[in-house]
């Protein structure tokens, strides 16, 4: 009997989310005869569907799964000691259009970290790019000499799906967002000097109490921290604020939200697929740009929404989203032309055609 090919999926050190999820669900829906295994972290086990095969991220079972895989689909580095078998394929989807510099282009990194992660990059057989503007920065930062495929991100196909409005209604109901309530998704990124320094993992600079007091009952703030600092704030107990940092898939939150507030997070490029307003709160812009991380693109020049420097300005802008959208309509259109030109709802199909062609032909 012919052995079934084995596909191992890894997303953000053990979550059921992002482009690996989109690839997995499409293969499952297509009925390909494959063995599927997910790497799972205990803190995020609740996000995996019943019956899915998982192994704990980081342990012996995890290494064994990786070393027996025919295909590995991952959205970030697999920072583990494992040997990729000959003949297997490791597809690195990555997880965002890079505004901020990454890997060897960063201004700050702990000693030895980048060289250690290079061991994983050496295993990659292919890298996905979400758009033409990202291809050069991704290849250069990782010093990756293999193929970089401009496919768009499979994770964003749901944002163009025919049933996206039905999904939006279902997700909002599940989150307890009442009809007529304006949901604002806040996605601050992590800071290298917090995570790798001596201070706290993360500190929040948006005044949550002021948001709730000013905007009242008809607004809700969906707080989504970066996966590297998901639990850094502990319990958030502010009326009108939902901490959704452990919600399984951020694509659900993109669908549920009416607007986004962010700083330097790549979530801005994904959310732009929805066409809804994006506001910027870069409270530490000069430090982040010149000393901490640096950018590939001119931040203020490309921003498709207002760049705000205080909580008060953010709340004022959220209170008048129609005016924000009108003032930035042309900038928003240019932003989408540059960074969303491949987000047509068919990125997953392109990825399957590239890496599962025999299965595609049978389907």
**CATH code, domain carrying 282:** 3.40.50.12580
Q: Which domain holds residue 72?
A: 5-156+345-358
In a domain, 171, yes or no: yes
Pair 137, 105: CB distance under 8 Å: yes
What is the domain-level CATH number for residue 117?
A: 3.40.50.11820
Name which of 256, 302, 254 is nearest 282 in CA terms.
Answer: 302
For 200-217, the DSSP string reads -S----S-HHHHHHHHGG
Same structural domain, 214 and 250: yes
Q: What pLDDT is attached to residue 2?
A: 60
Same structural domain, 117 and 226: no
Q: What pLDDT is attached to residue 358?
A: 63
What one-character DSSP code corresponds to residue 288?
I
CA distance 76 to 87: 21
Same structural domain, 323 and 351: no
Four-point Cα dihedral 273, 226, 43, 22, nearest 10: 20
In a domain, 12, yes or no: yes
Same structural domain, 93 and 219: no
**Can you read off the two tokens belonging to residue 107?**
């201004």
Same structural domain, 242 and 124: no
Residue 34: its H or E element:
strand 34-40
In a domain, 363, yes or no: no
For CA atoms 192, 17, 179, 273, the dihedral sign is positive
Q: Give the number of other Cβ atoms within 10 Å of residue 359's Cβ.
A: 17
Q: What pLDDT is attached to residue 257?
A: 98
Name which of 40, 37, 36 is nearest 11 in CA terms.
Answer: 40
Same structural domain, 201 and 118: no
In a domain, 220, yes or no: yes
Same structural domain, 285 and 192: yes
In a domain, 126, yes or no: yes
Alpha helices for 176-249 (secondary structure H): 192-195, 208-215
Query: Helix, strand or coil for residue 355?
Result: helix
Pair 102, 26: CB distance under 8 Å: no
Same structural domain, 150 and 185: no
CA distance 100 to 83: 31
Residue 317: its H or E element:
helix 311-318
Count up the domains in the chain and report the number: 2
Same structural domain, 116 and 203: no
Same structural domain, 148 and 199: no
Query: Helix, strand or coil for residue 60?
Result: helix
**Can you read off the two tokens belonging to residue 28?**
């499952």
Same structural domain, 145 and 105: yes
Residue 262: its H or E element:
strand 259-262
Pairing of strands 89-92, 71-74: parallel
Same structural domain, 26 and 88: yes
Query: Helix, strand or coil for residue 247?
Result: coil
Q: What pLDDT is attached to residue 230?
A: 65
Residues of the chain with pLDDT under 70: 1-2, 192-202, 227-234, 358-363
């Amino acid at each position: 009997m012919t052995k079934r090919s084995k596909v191992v999926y890894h997303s953000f050190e053990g979550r059921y989310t992002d482009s690996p999820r989109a690839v997995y669900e499409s293969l499952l829906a297509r009925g390909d005869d494959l063995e599927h295994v997910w790497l799972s972290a205990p803190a995020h086990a609740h996000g995996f569907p019943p019956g899915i095969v998982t192994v704990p991220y980081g342990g012996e079972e995890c290494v064994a799964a990786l070393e027996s895989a025919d295909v590995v689909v991952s959205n970030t580095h697999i920072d583990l000691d494992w040997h990729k078998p000959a003949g297997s394929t490791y597809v690195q989807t990555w997880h965002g259009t890079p505004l901020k510099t990454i890997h060897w282009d960063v201004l700050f990194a702990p000693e030895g970290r980048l060289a250690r992660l290079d061991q994983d990059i050496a295993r990659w057989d292919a890298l996905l790019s979400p758009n033409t503007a990202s291809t050069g920065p991704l290849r250069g930062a990782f010093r990756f000499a293999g193929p970089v495929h401009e496919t768009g991100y499979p994770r964003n196909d749901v944002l163009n799906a025919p049933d996206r409005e039905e999904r939006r209604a279902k997700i909002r109901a599940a989150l307890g967002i009442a009809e007529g309530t304006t949901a604002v998704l806040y996605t601050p990124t992590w800071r290298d000097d917090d995570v790798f320094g001596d201070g706290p993992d993360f500190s929040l600079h948006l005044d949550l109490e002021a948001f709730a007091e000013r905007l009242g009952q008809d607004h809700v703030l969906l707080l989504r921290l970066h996966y590297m600092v998901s639990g850094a704030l502990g319990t958030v107990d502010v009326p009108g604020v939902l901490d959704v940092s452990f919600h399984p898939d951020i694509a659900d939150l993109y669908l549920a939200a009416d607007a986004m507030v962010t700083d330097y997070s790549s979530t801005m490029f994904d959310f732009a697929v929805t066409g809804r307003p994006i506001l910027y709160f870069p409270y530490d812009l000069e430090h982040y740009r010149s000393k901490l991380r640096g950018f590939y693109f001119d931040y203020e020049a490309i921003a498709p929404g207002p760049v705000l420097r205080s909580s008060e300005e953010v709340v004022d802008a959220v209170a008048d989203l129609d005016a924000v959208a009108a003032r930035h309509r042309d900038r928003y259109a240019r932003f989408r032309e540059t960074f969303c030109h491949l987000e047509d709802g068919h990125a997953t199909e392109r990825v399957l055609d590239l890496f599962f062609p025999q299965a595609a032909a049978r389907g």
